[in-house]
Amino acid sequence: MKISKMLVAGLFCGTLLLFGCGKDVSTDEFVIHNSEDVAGMETDVEDDESSATTEYIGTLSHGVSWAADEKDYSFTYKGGMLEIPYTTAGSGICTSVGFLVYVNGVPQPYMIKDTEEQYKYMHMIEGGENQEVGFTISFIPVVGRAGDKVSLRIDSIANPSFIPDMVNTFDYGMSHNAIEANYDILFQENAEKMPEVEDDLCLLKTVCKESTEIDKGEMEYITGETKPDLETYVYNDLKIDGDSMLLDRKSDILGKDKVHVTYLMMGHPGVKYRICFYLNHQLLTDELGEVYELELATGKMSILEFDMDVSQVADASFYAVAVPVNAEDYPDDVISTMKYPSIHLYRGEN
Instruction: Kindly report, residue by residue over 92-117, the tens digit of the pLDDT.
Output: 999 999 999 999 999 999 999 999 88
Torsion-angle region of 144 (φ positive above 0: left; ψ -120 to 50: alpha; else: beta): left
Is 92 inside any structural domain?
A: yes
Residue pair 108/102 in contact (Cβ under 8 Å)? The answer is: yes
146 with 208, same domain: the answer is no
Domain boundary among 187, 219, 254: 187
Supply the range of the domain harboring residue 215.
200-346
The closest of 123, 85, 77 to 104, measured between CA atoms, is 77
Q: Would you place residue 34 in the very low, low, confident or very high pLDDT band (cuts 50, 70, 90)? A: very low
Query: Does residue 161 carry a pLDDT above 70?
Result: yes
Q: What is the CATH number of the domain that holds 238?
A: 2.60.40.2550
Is 107 inside any structural domain?
A: yes
pTM listed for this prediction: 0.86
Domain boundary among 130, 156, 187: 187
Is 193 inside any structural domain?
A: no
The pLDDT value given to residue 42: 32
Q: Are strands 250-252 and 343-346 parallel, antiparallel or unpaired?
A: parallel
Grouping H, G, I as helix, E, B as strand and the rest as coil, residue 206 is strand
- Structural domain total, the chain: 2
225 with 97, same domain: the answer is no
Instruction: Kindly report, residue by residue over 124-158, the tens digit of the pLDDT.
Output: 999 999 999 999 999 999 999 999 999 999 999 99
Query: Does residue 24 carry a pLDDT above 80?
Result: no
27 with 85, same domain: the answer is yes
In single-letter form, the type of residue at position 50 comes to S
- Cα separation of 347 and 283, whole Å? 22
Is 194 inside any structural domain?
A: no
